[in-house]
Amino acid sequence: MNKPRIMAIICAALTLVFVFFVTRDDPVSSRTVEEVAGQLTQSKTFDTTGLTLRSGGEFKKTFLLSAGDYDGIVYYSADSIMDVRELLVIRLKDEAQAEPLVEVIKKRIEDKITLFNGYAPEEEALLGSYVLESSRGFVMFAVCANADKVLEEFKGAL
C-alpha cells in the first residue's frame, strides 16, 4: 500500500472512533430520585424554605401527568401563589418519556410567564431564568435565584 492510502484509512478509522464517542448515550444513573433530589436540597443549593414537598396527586394536578408513569418523582412548590420557585426531579422509566415531559414543563413555564407578565416583574424574571435538564434517565426542572448552581449540582448528583 502506498502512504496516502494508509493515511486515508487511519483518518477514516479515527473519524469513526470520534463519531462513536460523540454520539453514544450517557449511561442511565443508578441513583434513586430521592438521592438526587436530596443532594440538591440538603446541600442548600436549592433552598426549600417556604416550599412544600408535594404528593403524586398534586404533581398530576399541576402537570396533568401521572406520577405512576415514572420511576419516581420529587416535586417541591411554593406555599404562596405569588412565589414561583419550584423543584422537580423525575427518574424516567424509559428515555422516550423525556421529550414529552420536557414539552409539558416548557408549556407550564410559558403559561406562568404570561400570568406574571407586567404583574410581578421579580417573579417573571425568576421564571425566565429556569433550568430544565434531561440526563442519564432523569429530568430536572428548577425555578430559583441560583438555578445555574442547581443545574451543576444536579449533574454532579447523577
Read off the pLDDT of residues 124-150 as tens digits, 9 standing for 90 and up: 999 999 999 999 899 999 999 889 898
Q: How far apart are CA 131 and CA 95, in angstroms?
A: 19
Phi first, then psi: give them for residue 146, nearest 5 degrees: -115, 50
pLDDT at 66: 94
Helix (H, G, I), strand (E, B) or coil at 151: helix
What is the predicted pLDDT for the residue at 38? Answer: 86
The count of other CB atoms within 10 Å of the CB of residue 102 is 15
Q: How far apart are the first and last CA of the chain?
A: 48
Q: What count of residues does the chain have?
A: 158
As a whole number of angstroms, the distance between CA 152 and CA 72 comes to 21
Residue 11 belongs to what H/E stretch? helix 3-23
Instruction: Average the pLDDT over 100-116 and give the result.
Output: 93
Mean pLDDT across the stretch 41-62? 90
Q: What digits encode the pLDDT tens for the residues 74-83?
A: 999 999 989 9
Query: By three-state DSSP, how is residue 150 classified?
Result: helix
Considering only CA atoms, which of 53, 72, 44, 35 is closest in space to residue 158? 35
Burial bucket for residue 83 (CB in 10 Å: 0-12, 13-18, 19+):
middle
User: Would you place residue 39 in the very low, low, confident or very high pLDDT band (cuts 50, 70, 90)?
Assistant: confident
User: CB count, 10 Å around CB of 136?
Assistant: 18
Q: For CA atoms 43, 48, 53, 59, give the dihedral sign.
A: negative
121 to 47, 69, 107, 148: CA distances (angstroms): 21, 35, 19, 20
- Read off the pTM: 0.80
